[in-house]
Structure 1
């Protein structure tokens, strides 16, 4: 049975102010619009993830909530995983490997450089640095989430807000 993972880099956030913790930075209006545009595009493609997981950072969880609304998924179902903020790629694989087998499609909201490295690790595709608000769509054939590791996925698409705006 096929499983689909949507890796989402958070949308554009406030610049880091000297008095503000990095974790607490919020999305800027441009970031909110970009997240909504990508979410709307995914909804038009029929995407409806079974599970949503996000870093606890404001900018990641707010990206998740905006996209969930566009996908007509209850934003309250977003599961927050603290280790996705500064936990490195190991935190990402742990989050995926621990998923319930009944989840067929998962959307995970995180941060660069970890999320880009993770997409490349899973697919061995040249993803490069994912732009803010971008989504890497990865499919896995005949694997449970616990079996997913390096080079087990296939990169199906890489969607960015900029590309959607140009089309």
Structure 2
């Protein structure tokens, strides 16, 4: 791995959640979410990315999404369940990403809207192909993810420093 290899961030929104009579933090996945999470995992596997780290919200729906998606990956990354990802703003998510050790190159962040969508929009100073158009058209529905690359140390990550290289969302 060369020092010039770009870092990769993949904001990944949890799959469709149910609305039972529980606190927001304890909401589980709906049936559709249990179907879409492995599909998203297969799409992540298709990218060929071998993640070094997964940062996952502590909410039930994000943990269930990750559990179903990660089984589709060839390599299971180290997973950290991070309370600060739950209900985080894009700025709060950037602050969490700024703390990642520099030996980590590829990170997936499993979180919630509007934070993960905002993170993808704010970080993307540029975009390849039609990735931004597709993301703008679809928004960031449940189980969607974006691929962003950037150069430099994690502490230098800030708005506009990344390139949106791809975007995927399940079909409705």
TM-score (norm 1): 0.88
- Aligned-pair distance for 1:124? 4.2
2:146 alignment partner, one of 127, 136, 154:
136
Matched, 1:151 2:160: yes
Q: Which structure 2 residue ranges, 5 or more long, are not aligned?
A: 127-131
The SS at the match of 1:34 is: helix
Q: Which structure 1 residue ranges, 5 or more long, are not aligned?
A: none
Aligned ranges 1:40-79 → 2 under 5 Å: 40-74=42-76, 77-79=78-80
TM-score (norm 2): 0.85
Aligned ranges 1:1-167 → 2 under 5 Å: 1=4, 2-15=6-19, 17=20, 19-74=21-76, 77-124=78-125, 127-128=135-136, 129-141=139-151, 143-162=152-171
Q: In structure 2, how many angstroms separate the alpha carbons of the residues matched to 1:35 and 1:8?
A: 10
Q: How many residues align?
A: 159
Q: Relative to total residues, which structure has the larger helix share, 1 or 2?
A: 1
